[in-house]
A and B are shown apart, each in its own frame.
Chain A
Amino acid sequence: MIRKVRQHPTQNEPLLFESSSPGKRGYQLPELDVPQVDAREALGEGNARADIEGFPEVSEVEAIRHFTRLSTWNYAIDLGLYPLGSCTMKYNPRVNEAVARIDGLAWAHPYQPERLSQGAMEIVARLEAALAEITGMDAVTLQPAAGAHGELTGILLVRALLASRGDPRKKVLIPDSAHGTNPATAAMAGYEVINAPSNQLGMLDLAELARVVDDDVAAVMITNPNTLGVFEEQITGIASLLHSKGALVYMDGANMNALMGVARPGDFGIDVMHLNLHKTFSTPHGGGGPGCGAVAAKSQLEPFLPTPRLARNDGGWTWDYHRPQSIGRVRAFYGNFGVLVRALAYIMAHGGPGLRAVTMDAVANANYLRKRIEPYYDLPYASPSMHECVFSDERQAKNGVRTGDIAKRLIDYGFHPYTVSFPLIVHGALMIEPTETESKQELDLFAEAMIAIAQEAEENPELVRTAPHSTRIGRVDEVTAARKPIVRWRPA
């Protein structure tokens, strides 16, 4: 019996261009208080545009109905649990939305005089300090726009430091369990990617690593806890090993939700790391962005951080552009300030004890789910789970039911799927991260759904293989979408 959801009609809605009609309008501009200017005269004949062909024309009512109807076709955190591993889909506090919209912050122009921007700069400074304390690092930059951007920045810092020592090096070690952005980033920065294998505990093996670490290795990129949700127990040894060879340790901080107030990367040997403010620090995912990939580093890397950085001057804040060793800018202006406001509001709401409690609850929730689900799904690694747990579809695969099918059937039970088929080292992976947001009621509903589906996989595999059954849209034909891509509307 499915307890979490029940079917209900949802509105249909065409594309904007299909309900568009000439002359409809949803706007009104004030009267011009200056003379009109002829575009052709002012811009030149060839520069003036005749029309924006195909651009929609709808009324305000049509506009609001269009987007409202579409919104009802989405799942969201506000509707229920997202068990997506390594995504940390926690509640997005609404006070964060309110403070980000305060006029003096929302309308601040990055080039307005510094003495009229002290409030914004104070927010940046305070967040930098808070993140440094949480991670145990010395210096933080908030310039990168997202996790992958932060990773690139971090690796460029490593590169700059080694270059300054006259010891450039060519290789970066990356575990086979790593998120795809890690090797993509290393390759973008010009490094050769060497695979570091995980052992049967699902961790990096120090002895194995020692075999591949040489003087040409610039860094190892690790995630801790790793993508199996397992703490890298040999991390201090690994860090010592790399440091002894003059290499650095980069940490992907996507899983920081498992560590706050409990362990700090700066204390266990990490030299540089990125954080995903849209994961651990609750800024909204918004359907895929924006985010912020803050980078925290040890003091030896500080001179290389992107320009500009905040500095004190005459009792106030100023942007310091004089940074001769900096890697340069990684984006214009100062960072995703609107996201920073939200992250700082989150940290202020929790304080130190609150953040630690977040981590406690996140890990407890993940372990609760693991215990409830364990009897029904194959658990490839017996190591203790932190904030997420990873199963495989091995048992269900015997009946032709794979992780992707189980994920789709979960939709019928009222949940968004967990992370499917990742990490790659687990064949047919199911990666589950509930976060601290979820109550026991929601977790129980989820566990019951997973158990019910395991049963269905035995008794009625076809039902699972053809799921979902209750959604507006069934499984989509991704093959045709890739063979003959249609990526825009065109008039008939």
Chain B
Amino acid sequence: MYPEQYRYTKEHEWVREEGGTGVIGITFHAQKELGDIVYVDLPKPGTVVERGKTFGSVESVKAVSDIYAPVSGEVIAVNRVLANAPEKLNEDPHGEAWLVRIRLSLPDELKDLLSAEDYQKYTGD
């Protein structure tokens, strides 16, 4: 269920490291809790995000959930697919429905995140 090469947070985000950048998304568990997703609010490229602080939100019909940055850095790409097809976040949260790519400012932060196995245990999925 949870890709081995990703790192995870207790707030149900994942990070995939690629060189000096990190691709960020929300997990299968998160989209399941949220239900049908209707809208995703993401920052613009150039925005600086800080670990633990909110940088966007995900909406279902009746609820809004903040997304917390698992690591710090600068947003260099935003997934345009989600603007017209937010349902992708329910269908493929770990792949096609990535949220943003950031240039990591503190790569060491990755070490503090959970492994796939630990995250699986945490969610009980």
The residues of A with any CB-CB pair to B shorter than 8 Å are 421, 478-479, 482-483
Contacts and interface: CB of A to CB of B under 8 A. Distances in A.
A76 to B, nearest CB: 25
Interface in B5-23: none
14 contacts: A421-B62, A478-B61, A479-B36, A479-B38, A479-B60, A479-B61, A482-B38, A482-B39, A482-B59, A482-B61, A483-B38, A483-B39, A483-B86, A483-B87
Nearest to A404: B62
B97 to A, nearest CB: 14
A63 B36 CA distance: 39
A479 B89 CA distance: 14
B49 to A, nearest CB: 22
**Lowest 6 CB-CB distances: which A-B pairs, in order?**
A482-B38, A479-B36, A478-B61, A483-B38, A482-B61, A479-B61
Prevailing SS type, chain B contact patch: loop
A483 to B, nearest CB: 5
Contacts of A479: 36, 38, 60-61
B32 to A, nearest CB: 15
A445 B35 CA distance: 35
Given A479-B38, A479-B60, 12 more contacts: A421-B62, A478-B61, A479-B36, A479-B61, A482-B38, A482-B39, A482-B59, A482-B61, A483-B38, A483-B39, A483-B86, A483-B87
A482 B64 CA distance: 13
A483 B59 CA distance: 10
Contacts of B86: 483
Contacts of B61: 478-479, 482
Interface of B: 36, 38-39, 59-62, 86-87
Contacts of B87: 483
B24 to A, nearest CB: 22
Output the residue of B38, B60, B86, B87 with the most chain A CB within 10 A: B38
Contacts of A482: 38-39, 59, 61
Nearest to B39: A482
Nearest to B36: A479
B86 to A, nearest CB: 6
Contacts of A421: 62
Nearest to A478: B61
B95 to A, nearest CB: 20
A422 to B, nearest CB: 11
A338 to B, nearest CB: 34
Contacts of A483: 38-39, 86-87
A479 B90 CA distance: 13
B37 to A, nearest CB: 8
A482 B39 CA distance: 8
Contacts of B62: 421
A193 to B, nearest CB: 14
A236 to B, nearest CB: 36
A483 B82 CA distance: 11
A260 to B, nearest CB: 34
A421 B60 CA distance: 15
B81 to A, nearest CB: 13
A61 B38 CA distance: 41
Nearest to B59: A482
A483 B39 CA distance: 6
B41 to A, nearest CB: 13
A127 B86 CA distance: 51
Nearest to A421: B62
A478 B86 CA distance: 14
A463 B40 CA distance: 34
Contacts of B59: 482
A356 to B, nearest CB: 39
A130 B60 CA distance: 44
A474 B62 CA distance: 19
Contacts of A478: 61
A53 B61 CA distance: 33
A421 B62 CA distance: 11
A482 B62 CA distance: 10
Nearest to A483: B38
A299 B39 CA distance: 47
B61 to A, nearest CB: 5
B56 to A, nearest CB: 17
B87 to A, nearest CB: 7
A63 B44 CA distance: 48
A478 B39 CA distance: 13
B38 to A, nearest CB: 4
B20 to A, nearest CB: 35
A330 to B, nearest CB: 28
Contacts of B36: 479
A473 B21 CA distance: 50
Nearest to A482: B38
A252 B86 CA distance: 37
A478 B60 CA distance: 10
A120 B38 CA distance: 48
A479 B63 CA distance: 12
A405 to B, nearest CB: 14
Nearest to B85: A483
A482 B59 CA distance: 9
